Structure 1
Amino acid sequence: MSNESTNPDLSIYSRPDWLAGFLRADRIRLDTLVQLVASWSDPDARDDIIEALDYLAVVVSSTQDEGTLDAAVEIVEDAAGMDTAQVPIDKTHVLRLLGELNTVAERLTRFDAGRRSVTMPHQRGRFGGAA
């Protein structure tokens, strides 16, 4: 997979066959692990986290009903006191990600007659139409 972004850790790019795209946000994984380990260091929380992780392991290794995996992950998040998985982005990131998303959208919809790119307000004319 080729990710040609100037910031691969936070990027949107196409699969090599152009049939799907990927959103990469490494910061979420980093924050998740740091929050888990930070809570793990509290002896009172550790037992709850271990129990929640053990339950998650059972769910992952078994056939599950819809929503069971999400619920098990939520139990781990609650036991570890984890924050919402989010990445702050500034204007520079937004514009770069928009460009990357447009590239992926153009590839995925290359055979769709009605495809169009997303434009930012500053790219439109005064009354919302194309500039």
Structure 2
Amino acid sequence: MNESSKPQLSITVGSNRLHGVVRADRIRLDTLTQLVTGWADEKTREEIIAALDELAAVVAGTGREGELDAAVEQVEDAAGMETAQVEVKAPDVRRLLAEVTVVERVTSRFQQGASEIKHPAMRPTRQFLKAQPLPEQQDRRSA
């Protein structure tokens, strides 16, 4: 459940509590508005339809790396779409920072001090490595 005062622009903890979820509804609104604006022109509409058909083929098939990004970019170019971004005012920046802080605290709870956990079964290994440390790894980039 999104408890943000502005859920349309928010960052929340994911359902499994292991990741964060960013919601920015304004990007979707702007994207669809720009697409429909380009659709109004007959020539541009044909270009957009061709680009959308190509995008649909890429999504339906097994595309090569980068092919999906290229097809999306082609739709954006045909429709004359701008970069997907949202202007965030200072009060919202502070609110989002507080939300990110909550998400970070929840999602990183298992990482803090994980290297400090010492299982008793590892005691012989730790004693061996203490007596006979591993050699330093050489920096292969300098060779």
In structure 1, the partner of 2:6 is: 7
User: Which structure 1 residue ranges, 4+ long, deviate > 4 Å from structure 2?
Assistant: none
In structure 2, the residue corresponding to 1:22 is in which secondary structure?
Answer: strand
Q: Which has the higher helix share?
A: 2
User: Which stretch has the larger CA shift, 11-20 or 75-84?
Assistant: 11-20
Q: Which residue of 1 aligns with 2:40?
A: 41
Structure 1 residues without counterparts, runs of 5 or longer: 115-131
Indicate the structure (1 or 2) with the bigger Cα radius of gyration: 2
- C-alpha displacement of 1:111: 1.8
Match of 1:108 in 2: 107
Displacement after TM superposition at 1:66 (Å): 1.1
In the TM superposition, residue 20 of structure 1 has moved relative to its aligned partner by 1.0
Offset, 1:112: 2.1
Q: Residue 13 of structure 1: SS of its match in structure 2?
A: strand
Q: Where do residues 72-87 of structure 1 align in structure 2 (5 Å cutoff)?
A: 72-87=71-86
CA distance in 2, matches of 1:17, 1:59: 31
Whole-angstrom CA distance in 2 between matches of 1:44 and 1:67: 27
Determine the C-alpha separation between the residues in 1 that align with 2:26 and 2:91. 17
In the TM superposition, residue 44 of structure 1 has moved relative to its aligned partner by 1.5
Aligned match of 2:18: 19
Structure 2 residue runs of 5 or longer lacking an equivalent are 114-143
Aligned-partner residue type, residue 89 of structure 1:
V
**Secondary structure, counterpart of 2:21 in structure 1:** strand
Structure 2 distance, partners of 1:17, 1:61, is 29
Q: TM-score, normalised by structure 2?
A: 0.77
CA RMSD in angstroms comes to 0.9
CA deviations 1:84-125 (Å, max 9, x no partner) are 1000001001000000001000001012226xxxxxxxxxxx
What is residue 31 of structure 2 aligned with on the other side? 32
Give a deviation string over 1:2-40, Cα, whole Å, max 9, x none.
111000000000013211110000000000000000000
